[in-house]
Amino acid sequence: MSDHDEADLRGRVAVLSTEQKIRLLTGADFWALYPEPDAGLRRVVLSDGPAGVRGETWDERDTSANVPSPTALAATWDCDRVGAIGRLLAAEARRKGVDVLLAPTVNLHRTPYGGRHFECFSEDPLLTARIGVAYVRGLQNQGVGATVKHFVCNDSETERMSVDVRIDERTLRELYLAPFEAIVLEAGAWAVMASYNGVNGSTMTESPLLRSILHDEWGYDGLVMSDWTATRATEAAARAALDLAMPGPAKRFGPWGDALLAAVRAGQVDEALLDDKVLRILRLAARVGGLDGVKGSVPVTPAPADIPRELRATAAASFVLARNEGSLLPLDRSGLGRVALIGPNAEIARTLGGGSATVYPPYTVSPLDGLRAAGLDVAFAPGTLGHLRTAAARAPWLLRPDGSGPGADIRFFSPSGEVIGSEQRDGAVFRWMNGFAAIGVPEQIDRLEVSCVIRATEAGIYQLGATGIGRFRLLADDAVVFDETLTAREGADWGEMLMAPPVRLGPLELAAGQSVAVRLEHYVHTSPMAGAGTFFQLLLEAPHGTDDEEMEAAVALAAGSDVAVIVVGTTAEVESEGFDRTSLALPGRQDELVRKVAAANPRTVVVVNSGAPVLMPWAGEVAAVLLTWFGGQEFGNALADVLLGEAEPGGRLPTTWPASEVGLPSAQPDDRTLSYTEGLFIGYRAFDRDGREPLFPFGHGRGYTTWSYDSITVDCDEANPGTALLAPGGTTPQNLPRTGGSTPPYPPDPPGKPGIAVCVEVRNTGSRPGREVVQVYASRPDSTVERPAKWLAGFAVVDADPGETVTVGILLPERAFQHWADGGWTLEAGTFALAAGSSSASLPLTAGVTLK
Ligand code: BGC
- What tens digit of pLDDT does each residue of 809-839 get? 999 998 999 999 999 999 999 999 999 999 9
Whether 190 has a pLDDT exceeding 70, the answer reads: yes
Whether 753 has a pLDDT exceeding 70, the answer reads: no
Q: Which of 99-103, 252-256, 463-467, 470-474 has the lowest mean pLDDT?
A: 252-256
**Mean pLDDT (the chain, rounded):** 93
Residue nearest to ligand 1 atom 9, measured at CA: 356
Amino acid letter at 780?
R
Whether 513 has a pLDDT exceeding 60, the answer reads: yes
777: β partners: 792, 835
Tell me which residues are annotated as active site: 227
Whether 741 has a pLDDT exceeding 80, the answer reads: no
Mean pLDDT of 409-424: 93
Mean pLDDT of 639-646: 98
pLDDT confidence tier of residue 470, bands split at 50, 70 and 90:
very high
Ligand 1 pocket test target in 160, 163, 227 with most atoms within 8 Å of CB: 227
How far apart, in Å, are the Cα atoms of 118 and each of 105, 150, 455?
Answer: 10, 14, 36
Please tell me the predicted confidence (pLDDT) of residue 438: 62
Q: Which of 77-91, 257-271, 639-653, 707-721 has the lowest mean pLDDT?
A: 707-721
Please tell me the predicted confidence (pLDDT) of residue 444: 81
d(CA 583, CA 569): 13
Please tell me the predicted confidence (pLDDT) of residue 141: 94
Identify the CA nearest to 499 among candidates 389, 379, 411: 389
Please tell me the predicted confidence (pLDDT) of residue 685: 98
Whether 726 has a pLDDT exceeding 60, the answer reads: no
pTM: 0.95
3-state helix/strand/coil string of 303-369: CCCCHHHHHHHHHHHHCEEEEEHHHCCCCCCCCCCCEEEECCCCCCCCCCCECCCCCCCCCCCCHHH
For the chain, percent of residues with pLDDT exceeding 90: 87
pLDDT confidence tier of residue 79, bands split at 50, 70 and 90:
very high
Strand, coil or helix: what is 495?
Answer: helix
Whether 436 has a pLDDT exceeding 90, the answer reads: no
Atom nearest to 102 CA in ligand 1: 10
pLDDT confidence tier of residue 299, bands split at 50, 70 and 90:
low
d(CA 644, CA 657): 25
Alpha-carbon 552 to chain mean position: 36
Please tell me the predicted confidence (pLDDT) of residue 435: 77
Residue nearest to ligand 1 atom 2, measured at CA: 227
d(CA 738, CA 750): 20
Residue nearest to ligand 1 atom 7, measured at CA: 228
**Ligand 1 mean position, distance from CA 228 (Å):** 6
Please tell me the predicted confidence (pLDDT) of residue 163: 98
Strand, coil or helix: what is 213?
Answer: helix
Residues whose beta carbon lies within 6 Å of some atom of ligand 1:
48-49, 102, 149, 227-228, 356, 577
Residue partners of 665: CB distance under 8 A and separation at least 6: 110, 111, 676, 678, 682, 686
- Which comes out higher in pLDDT, residue 743 or 558? 558
Q: Which of 306-315, 358-367, 702-711, 730-739 has the lowest mean pLDDT?
A: 730-739
Residue nearest to ligand 1 atom 6, measured at CA: 228
Atom nearest to 103 CA in ligand 1: 10
pLDDT confidence tier of residue 739, bands split at 50, 70 and 90:
very low
| Helical spans, DSSP H, in 184-334 | 208-209, 235-239, 258-265, 271-288, 307-318
Tell me the longest C-alpha to C-alpha distance in the chain.
82
**Ligand 1 mean position, distance from CA 574 (Å):** 18
d(CA 578, CA 491): 11
Atom nearest to 160 CA in ligand 1: 8
d(CA 609, CA 69): 11
**Ligand 1 mean position, distance from CA 355 (Å):** 8
d(CA 489, CA 356): 19
Whether 251 has a pLDDT exceeding 80, the answer reads: yes
d(CA 53, CA 586): 29
Amino acid letter at 50?
P
d(CA 724, CA 119): 32
Residue partners of 219: CB distance under 8 A and separation at least 6: none
Taking only the tens place, the pLDDT of each residue in 331-352 is: 999 999 999 999 999 999 999 9
Residue nearest to ligand 1 atom 4, measured at CA: 228
**Ligand 1 mean position, distance from CA 155 (Å):** 14
Mean pLDDT of 711-739: 51
Q: Cα angle vertex 157, ends 233, 384, to 5°?
A: 150
Please tell me the predicted confidence (pLDDT) of residue 494: 86
d(CA 270, CA 767): 69
pLDDT confidence tier of residue 8, bands split at 50, 70 and 90:
very high
Entry field: residues in the chain: 852
Residue nearest to ligand 1 atom 8, measured at CA: 227
Taking only the tens place, the pLDDT of each residue in 566-595 is: 999 999 999 999 999 999 999 999 999 999
Q: Which of 82-96, 675-689, 741-755 has the lowest mean pLDDT?
A: 741-755
d(CA 623, CA 71): 24
Strand, coil or helix: what is 625?
Answer: strand
Please tell me the predicted confidence (pLDDT) of residue 441: 67
Mean pLDDT of 400-411: 93
Q: Supply the DSSP symbol for 392.
A: B
**Ligand 1 mean position, distance from CA 253 (Å):** 14
Atom nearest to 48 CA in ligand 1: 10
Whether 730 has a pLDDT exceeding 80, the answer reads: no
Please tell me the predicted confidence (pLDDT) of residue 627: 98
Atom nearest to 495 CA in ligand 1: 7
**Ligand 1 mean position, distance from CA 350 (Å):** 21
d(CA 529, CA 717): 62
Please tell me the predicted confidence (pLDDT) of residue 697: 98
Please tell me the predicted confidence (pLDDT) of residue 639: 98
pLDDT confidence tier of residue 731, bands split at 50, 70 and 90:
very low
- Hey, which of 146-155, 399-408, 804-813 has the most confident mean pLDDT? 146-155
Residue nearest to ligand 1 atom 12, measured at CA: 356
- Which DSSP string do the residues of 5-52 spell out, in sequence order? -HHHHHHHHHTS-HHHHHHHTB-SSSSBPPPBGGGTB---BEE--TTS
Please tell me the predicted confidence (pLDDT) of residue 621: 95
Whether 280 has a pLDDT exceeding 90, the answer reads: yes
Please tell me the predicted confidence (pLDDT) of residue 380: 98
Please tell me the predicted confidence (pLDDT) of residue 634: 98
Ligand 1 pocket test target in 47, 102, 246 with most atoms within 8 Å of CB: 102
Whether 13 has a pLDDT exceeding 60, the answer reads: yes
Mean pLDDT of 521-542: 92
Whether 393 has a pLDDT exceeding 90, the answer reads: yes
**Ligand 1 mean position, distance from CA 109 (Å):** 18
